[in-house]
A and B are shown apart, each in its own frame.
Chain A
């Protein structure tokens, strides 16, 4: 039945109501399911490493640390300063290696090259390696991402 000035019939209205209700019910079931399959992830703000583990490094060499679930590399420069990189290739996420003699970072997956400052110089990588901030405070090396106090 449709009233004279109505846009839709009573049947359409009730079907819409029922359909909308079923849709909302389905969404209320789907939401927690979708939530469940994506685990939370928070990148560390900073990691604190013991300076004594890195003090004896030769200039132009690297040593590992863990940046959350990603590998990190601490590099000692020729002038004695330290750099820290997230050691994953910006192309497709493979872990990179530092080749001391060539003074380059290298990704073996698709032959990507970065210079000693992490700048992408060859192969498919689209961006430089991600660099982190290094601060030496007494006994500790603090590696933190940009914008963190």
Chain B
């Protein structure tokens, strides 16, 4: 019996049980269309890259981190100073989070502007909106874990925002905080969200999101589809995967370089009774929201300003979630308006963010 026969035998054994040959066949036949918007196809796998880095560095950090009032800040100090190469691991986790969120936004707006959510990809868009929310929730809960003055104030504000929603708001605030106020219980709870609850949901939703994309194939932008010409395609395996690997290598290089030269700082442990420090800022991806809350007046026509801001935001979010059904005639005038709104949202968010930094 020669070696080749043995390998073939093992392969057959696994194939009978796992049915992998169908998946391999699918991947060999999968094609990626080539056109002037192909570059946006790379954003999805770039998100997966940074997500993978978050999972691995997260596993490592959790070996040392202690999610309690007394120990949280100290244990991060220990990661930064005593754990071998701990400072790089934390720095990579910190920066990779920002990179991931940044590319999530690019991914989102590229899909909005090329209208890739149109029929039959509505469910892909909606699962993507949930993934966006979970990604932001990861960022928000992770921000508290170092337990310093900045992260405490940001969490007090962030968890107080739902309070202005009528009826259910107060319960959301209590659920998030584990009580009336932000305390050590909040820290432990946020840790639970960050390493246990959110990961379960993100893996389930990622599974759906990626399944939908494989089921429907890569979407063509409206203008390419309307031209009715044959579109060139690249085989996914190995051609497109090799190109993605080049992008991944570049991104990892940039990430590690920044992580080494700009590690995140650690302020002294938060004091629950101390006044909020001057110049508090949330993470950059919440700055636009922070600025809106800051400029919203206390009262608008007898309505509490925050309540109005939160309700407006909720309405905008619902419209955003159902965008594929609202923009159901993408090639017509309606579609153009929706595209313009995408640019308006981008400009608005950038202006608010810059304003908050002034």
Interface residues of A (CB under 8 A from B): 37-39, 41, 43, 64, 66, 68-71, 87, 89, 91-97, 107-111, 120, 123-126
Contacts of B294 on A, CB cut-off 8 Å? Answer: 110-111, 123-124
A69–B275 touching, CB < 8 Å: no
Ranked 8 nearest A-B pairs via Cβ: A97-B275, A71-B273, A93-B160, A94-B276, A69-B181, A126-B298, A41-B180, A110-B294
Additional pairs, 9, CB under 8 Å, beyond known A39-B179, A93-B159, A109-B157: A43-B180, A69-B183, A93-B160, A95-B274, A96-B275, A108-B276, A108-B280, A110-B290, A124-B298
Contacts of A64 on B, CB cut-off 8 Å? Answer: 273
B174 at the interface (CB under 8 A from A): yes
User: How distant is A105 from chain B, measured CB to nearest CB, in Å?
Assistant: 9
Contacts of A91 on B, CB cut-off 8 Å? Answer: 298, 306
A92–B161 touching, CB < 8 Å: yes
- Taken together as a complex, chains A and B put the C-alpha atoms of A148 and B305 apart, in Å, by 32
User: How distant is B182 from chain A, measured CB to nearest CB, in Å?
Assistant: 8
Looking at the complex, which one of A69, A87, A109, A123 makes contact with B153 (CB distance below 8 Å)? A109
A69–B305 touching, CB < 8 Å: no
Looking at the complex, which one of B161, B178, B298 makes contact with A125 (CB distance below 8 Å)? B298
Interface residues of B (CB under 8 A from A): 153, 156-157, 159-161, 171, 174-175, 178-183, 185, 272-280, 290, 293-294, 296-299, 304-306
Looking at the complex, which one of B153, B297, B304, B305 makes contact with A94 (CB distance below 8 Å)? B153
Q: Known contacts A108-B280, A110-B293, A126-B305: does B156 contact A92 (CB below 8 Å)?
A: yes
Looking at the complex, which one of A69, A89, A126 makes contact with B180 (CB distance below 8 Å)? A69
Looking at the complex, which one of B157, B180, B275 makes contact with A92 (CB distance below 8 Å)? B157
- Taken together as a complex, chains A and B put the C-alpha atoms of A29 and B340 apart, in Å, by 49
User: How distant is B288 from chain A, measured CB to nearest CB, in Å?
Assistant: 14
A126–B304 touching, CB < 8 Å: yes
Q: Known contacts A39-B178, A109-B276, A126-B299: does B293 contact A92 (CB below 8 Å)?
A: yes
Q: List 9 A-B pairs, Cβ < 8 Å.
A: A37-B178, A39-B185, A71-B272, A91-B306, A108-B278, A108-B280, A109-B157, A111-B294, A124-B294
Contacts of B178 on A, CB cut-off 8 Å? Answer: 37, 39
Looking at the complex, which one of A94, A111, A124 makes contact with B156 (CB distance below 8 Å)? A94
Contacts of A41 on B, CB cut-off 8 Å? Answer: 174, 179-180
A124–B278 touching, CB < 8 Å: no
A92–B306 touching, CB < 8 Å: yes
B305–A124 touching, CB < 8 Å: yes
